[in-house]
Amino acid sequence: MSTRSFHQGVVRLFLASTLLLAGVSGCLNRASPEPEGALLAHIVSGPDAPQRVLMGLTQALETSKAGYDVMVYLDVDAVAIAVRGGEDVKLMDWQSSRKLIADLVAADVPIYVCPRCLATAGYQPEELREGIELASPDRLFEWTDSARIVTLDH
């Protein structure tokens, strides 16, 4: 075999391999029309832990914007951000908790509050901000029943 034939064979093999890999890569990287999975942002921290509160709300909003199903569940100390007149959690250049909650409500992301936690903190259901509802087992299981859930606790 001549050197020229050998080089032509190597070039052909390289081109064939490149085309094959490009085809496989194209199949693997093809975006699905709708993202699969869902996020449950479980926030237990309150105003005394601003980074935890704001990270949970921010992740929920960004995940929703990416097209995934999202639900926010507030309990323990987080109920303080769910009520009208509650503290607006702020930290450096992060969006505030009020702004993030308003954006989540506008994006139709369900936000639920633990009823027992709300009562323990001394609040009434009537004090909940617009778009935030009391959680119930039916609502939680209805939402989680049909989706693959990733839970992030803050």
Give pLDDT, residue 145.
67
Residues 9 and 66 in one domain: no
Give pLDDT, residue 38.
87
Question: d(Cα 130, Cα 105) in Å, to the nearest integer?
Answer: 8
Residues 20 and 65 in one domain: no
Strand spans (E) along the chain: 38-43, 69-74, 111-113, 132-134, 149-153
Give pLDDT, residue 137.
82
Residues 77 and 149 in one domain: yes
Residues 70 and 143 in one domain: yes
Residues of the chain with pLDDT under 50: 6-30
Q: Which of left, alpha, beta for 45 (phi over 0: left; psi -120 to 50: alpha)? A: beta
Host domain of residue 113: 38-153
State the pTM of this model. 0.73
Question: d(Cα 111, Cα 100) in Å, to the nearest integer?
Answer: 12
